[in-house]
Amino acid sequence: MSILLTGGAGYIGSHTAVELLQLNKDVIILDNFSNSSPLVLDRIKEITGKSFKFYELDLLDKKNLEKVFIDNNVDSIIHFAGYKAVGESVDKPLDYYTNNIISTLNLLELMKKYNIKNFVFSSSATVYGNPDKCPINENSPLRATNPYGQTKLMIENILKDISKSDASLNIAILRYFNPVGAHKSGLIGEDPNGIPNNLLPYISQVAVGNLDKLKVFGDDYNTHDGTGVRDYIHVVDLAKGHIKSLDKLNTKCGLVIYNLGTGNGYSVLEMVDAFREASKREISYEIVKRRQGDIAICYADCTKANRELDWQAEYGIKDMCIDSWNWQVNNPKGYK
Ligand X SMILES: NC(=O)c1ccc[n+]([C@@H]2O[C@H](COP(=O)([O-])OP(=O)(O)OC[C@H]3O[C@@H](n4cnc5c(N)ncnc54)[C@H](O)[C@@H]3O)[C@@H](O)[C@H]2O)c1
Told to check if 98 binds ligand X by CB under 6 A, we report: no
Told to check if 80 binds ligand X by CB under 6 A, we report: yes
Catalytic residue, from 11, 128, 148, 232: name it: 148
Are the beta carbons of 135 and 298 closer than 8 angstroms?
no
The least CB distance from residue 238 to ligand X, in Å, is 9
The least CB distance from residue 62 to ligand X, in Å, is 11
Binding flags for ligand X, 202-241, as an x/- string (CB under 6 A): ----------------------------------------
Q: Which is nearer to ligand X, 88 or 270 (CB)?
A: 88
Q: Which stretch binds ligand X (CB under 6 A): 75-83, 86-94, 223-231, 294-302?
A: 75-83
Binding flags for ligand X, 174-203, as an x/- string (CB under 6 A): --x--x------------------x-----
Told to check if 9 binds ligand X by CB under 6 A, we report: yes
Q: Is 335 a catalytic residue?
A: no
Are the beta carbons of 304 and 137 closer than 8 angstroms?
yes
Binding flags for ligand X, 118-147, as an x/- string (CB under 6 A): ----x-x-----------------------
Out of 7, 228, 261, 265, point to the residue binding ligand X (CB under 6 A): 7
The least CB distance from residue 252 to ligand X, in Å, is 25
The residues annotated as belonging to the active site are: 148
| Interface residues toward ligand X, by CB under 6 A | 7, 9-13, 31-36, 58-60, 80-82, 84, 99, 103, 122, 124, 176, 179, 198
